[in-house]
C-alpha cells in the first residue's frame, strides 16, 4: 500500500494510492496514520477494508495538498555520515558505529510545502535520505528480526543549518530542527512495496542542477542493523521515523560550499517513493 495524508495543514485526512494510481479517501476507516494506527494492526485492518470498499471510496481531487504521510511521530531519529562518500566530503572519518541525532518533530512538513530559511541562517543545506517507519514497538530486537518491525519507507529531505550544526557547540540537533526542515512524503510505501530497500537510487537537484545522485546499496550500516542497534538504546514506537543518511553532494561538500537562498527550488526523489519539490523562502 501507499499511504498519504491530504488536505490543509493541521487538518489532513488519511488516504491511499491504489495500484492504478487513483487516490482515495479512507478516513472512514482510518482516523490518522499515527502511533495508535500502527500499534493496533492498522495496516492489516486497512488492507481488509480496501478489499471490500476501495471501489466505492471517494476519490481525492487532483492537485490537493499532500501532508507528511505520518502524523507527528514520537521521534525522528537520524543516522549521520552513513555513506562513506558523504563522510569524506564532510571531512570526517567513516564511523565505526552509527552516529545518532534527532530532529524535532515540529520540523515535520509536507513534501511540497517549501522550506523557510531560518532568520540568521547563512548555511542552510540539503540532504536526500531514505527514511524507515517503525510498525510496532521495538526493544532490543535482533538484527535477524529487525525487518519485522518496519512498517514501510518514505522520502525525507534532512535540511540542515551547517553553522548551527557544526560551529555552535557540536549539537547537531540545533542545525536540524527548524520549522519545515523535515519534509516527508509524498507517500509511505509499505514494506511489501519495496522488496529491496538496499538498492534504491536517490537524487536531489537545486534549480534544475543535479547535486546528489546515489544508491542505498552504499549504506555503511544497513536497515536491519540500524533498527536493531537503535532498539538497544531506546524504545522504538510505532510511527517513529528513522532517516538513514545521505550520499555525497550536499552543499557543505562543494568547494566553495553552496548553500540555499530564497527563491531556490529543491527537487528530490527515491525509486518507488516519489518526488518532492520545495521553494526556499
Whether 92 shows a pLDDT value over 80: the answer reads no
The verdict on residue 160 lying in a domain is yes
9 lies in the same domain as 49: yes
- Name all contacts of 26-33 with Cβ < 8 Å and 24+ positions apart: 26/50, 26/57, 28/57, 29/53, 32/5, 32/71, 33/3, 33/5, 33/69, 33/70, 33/71, 33/188, 33/239
Domain of residue 28, residue span: 2-56
268 lies in the same domain as 146: yes
49 lies in the same domain as 107: no
262 lies in the same domain as 137: yes
158 lies in the same domain as 52: no
The verdict on residue 62 lying in a domain is no
Model confidence at 91, in pLDDT bands (50, 70, 90)?
Answer: confident
> Which carries the bigger pLDDT value, residue 84 or residue 276?
276
Whether 170 shows a pLDDT value over 80: the answer reads no
What is the value of pTM for the model shown?
Answer: 0.96
181 lies in the same domain as 105: yes
Percent of the chain with pLDDT over 70: 100
145 lies in the same domain as 9: no
Model confidence at 24, in pLDDT bands (50, 70, 90)?
Answer: very high
Whether 15 shows a pLDDT value over 90: the answer reads yes
Model confidence at 21, in pLDDT bands (50, 70, 90)?
Answer: very high
Whether 171 shows a pLDDT value over 90: the answer reads no
Whether 169 shows a pLDDT value over 80: the answer reads no
The verdict on residue 165 lying in a domain is yes
142 lies in the same domain as 22: no
The verdict on residue 69 lying in a domain is no
> What are φ and ψ of residue 276, in 5° steps?
-125, 160
Mean pLDDT taken over the chain: 96
> Which CATH number characterizes residue 255's domain?
3.90.850.10
pLDDT given for residue 44 in this prediction: 97
pLDDT digits (tens, 9 = 90+) for 190-238: 999 999 999 999 999 999 999 999 999 999 999 999 999 999 999 999 9
Amino acid at each position: 500500500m501507499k499511504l498519504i495524508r491530504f488536505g490543509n495543514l493541521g487538518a489532513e485526512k488519511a488516504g491511499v494510492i491504489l495500484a492504478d494510481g487513483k487516490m482515495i479517501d479512507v478516513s472512514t476507516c482510518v482516523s490518522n496514520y499515527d502511533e495508535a494506527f500502527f500499534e493496533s494492526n492498522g495496516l492489516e485492518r486497512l488492507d481488509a477494508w480496501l478489499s471490500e470498499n476501495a471501489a466505492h471510496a471517494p476519490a481525492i481531487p487532483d492537485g490537493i495538498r499532500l501532508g507528511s504521510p505520518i502524523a507527528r511521530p514520537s521521534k525522528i531519529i537520524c543516522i549521520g555520515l552513513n555513506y562513506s562518500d558523504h563522510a569524506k566530503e564532510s571531512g570526517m572519518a567513516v564511523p565505526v558505529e552509527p552516529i545518532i541525532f534527532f530532529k524535532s518533530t515540529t520540523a515535520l512538513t509536507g513534501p511540497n510545502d517549501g522550506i523557510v530559511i531560518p532568520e540568521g541562517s547563512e548555511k542552510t543545506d540539503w540532504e536526500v535520505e531514505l527514511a524507515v517507519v517503525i510498525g510496532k514497538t521495538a526493544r532490543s530486537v535482533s538484527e535477524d528480526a529487525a525487518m519485522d518491525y518496519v512498517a514501510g519507507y518514505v522520502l525525507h529531505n534532512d535540511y540542515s543549518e551547517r553553522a548551527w550544526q557544526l560551529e555552535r557547540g557540536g549539537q547537531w540537533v540545533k542545525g536540524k530542527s527548524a520549522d519545515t526542515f523535515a519534509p516527508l512524503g509524498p507517500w509511505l510505501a509499505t514494506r511489501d512495496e519495496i522488496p529491496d530497500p538496499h538498492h534504491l537510487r536517490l537524487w536531489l537537484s537545486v534549480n534544475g542542477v543535479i547535486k546528489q545522485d546515489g544508491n542505498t546499496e552504499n549504506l555503511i550500516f544497513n536497515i536491519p542493523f540500524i533498527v536493531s542497534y537503535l532498539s538497544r538504546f531506546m524504545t522504538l514506537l510505532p510511527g517513529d521515523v528513522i532517516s538513514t543518511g545521505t550520499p555525497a553532494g550536499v552543499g557543505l561538500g562543494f568547494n566553495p560550499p553552496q548553500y540555499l537562498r530564497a527563491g531556490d527550488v529543491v527537487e528530490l526523489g527515491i525509486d518507488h517513493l516519489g518526488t518532492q519539490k520545495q521553494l526556499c523562502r
